[in-house]
């Protein structure tokens, strides 16, 4: 919707069929209920509020969250996950403060450099694929192959 040259949107809920809500009185969805709108309908808002705020960086990740993400993406095994974590700390890509990991300037700079070069080696799916490939080599299902990445950099 445009108002004074500004675009607005609304989020809410349209209950098509009440189902269990007809018998389960302890839950209600009316707080975010929207009337039925059709594309092109015009409305006259009763109230327009301007709310100011600021953005904030994402929260740092905890060790348990990191381990869950590594497991989800197939990075490491129960026996190697803590070695991976030790490696990123030893290389000063991150520091551990209590149970929270905070990226260092070296860590963020490395990611930015890979992004700028267009090399997605920092993405979890790359590490997961590399680990699957190494496992297949160790099981004799794949031959050891060296892949070279050639990068042209204009200075």
Structural domain tally of the chain? 1
Expressed in angstroms, the distance from the first to the final Cα of the chain is 47
pLDDT in tens, 20-60: 777 776 766 665 667 777 777 877 777 777 788 888 888 99
CA pair distance 88, 83, nearest whole angstrom? 9
Residue 84, domain CATH: 1.10.460.10
Domain that holds residue 111: 61-138
pLDDT in tens, 112-126: 999 899 888 888 888
35 domain residue, yes or no: no
Residue 138 clears pLDDT 90, i.e. is over it: no
56 domain residue, yes or no: no
CA pair distance 12, 30, nearest whole angstrom? 10
Beta partners for residue 2, in sequence order: 7
As given in the structure block, the two tokens for residue 82 are 């803590």
pLDDT at residue 109, as a whole number? 95
- The model's pTM is 0.54
């Amino acid at each position: 919707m445009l108002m004074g040259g500004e675009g607005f949107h609304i989020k809410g809920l349209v209950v098509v069929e009440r189902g269990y809500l007809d018998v389960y009185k302890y839950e209600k969805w009316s707080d975010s209920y929207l009337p039925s709108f059709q594309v092109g309908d015009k409305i006259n808002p009763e109230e327009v509020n301007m709310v100011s705020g600021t953005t904030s960086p994402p929260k740092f990740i905890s060790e348990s969250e990191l381990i869950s993400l590594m497991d989800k993406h197939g990075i490491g095994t129960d026996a190697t996950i803590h070695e991976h974590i030790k490696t990123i700390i030893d290389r000063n890509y991150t520091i551990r403060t209590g149970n929270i990991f905070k990226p260092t300037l070296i860590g963020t700079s490395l990611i930015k450099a890979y992004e700028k070069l267009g090399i997605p080696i920092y993405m979890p799916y790359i590490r997961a694929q590399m680990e699957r490939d190494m496992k297949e080599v160790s099981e004799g299902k794949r031959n050891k192959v060296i892949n070279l990445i050639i990068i042209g950099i204009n200075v």
